[in-house]
Structure 1
Amino acid sequence: MVGRRIQRLISAPNVQKVQVLTVARNDDESPEAWQQVIQEIEETIGIRIEHLEGGAVRIGWRGYCEG
């Protein structure tokens, strides 16, 4: 559920243009599932995760990471 939601957000055309997304866990998503998905994303080459206050994360890739 968490992974699919983040995948949908990342694939949005406006997000693809800027290559960065800030996202937080929804109340109906378990903290464990959220942490697992974020950890899997962190382990992906070419993707950078920045942990923000309040539990949100900023996910960046390609041009965003190079900039």
Structure 2
Amino acid sequence: MVQRRAKAADIATRIGNHTFRATGITAYPKNGGTLECAAAIASHASTRTTQLYDRRSDEVNLDEIERILI
């Protein structure tokens, strides 16, 4: 259902229910939540599983871009 809705909205990126889990688990610590609480909310037995969904390390900030010298 998620993929059909994304296609209907002309979203080319492949998304699914785990995309929403990853978004929530990434946003929660950004807003002051702990990884342990995120694991509990996601019903993960281990924070190691929760870390697989945490996408904060995928983000590149402006400081990192400015390190590129051409």
**The two structures share one fold, judged by TM-score above 0.5:** no
Q: Which has the higher contact order (CA 8 A, sep 6+)?
A: 1
As a proportion of its length, which structure holds more strand? 1
TM-score norm. by structure 1 comes to 0.28
TM-score norm. by structure 2 comes to 0.28
Of structures 1 and 2, the larger Rg is shown by 2
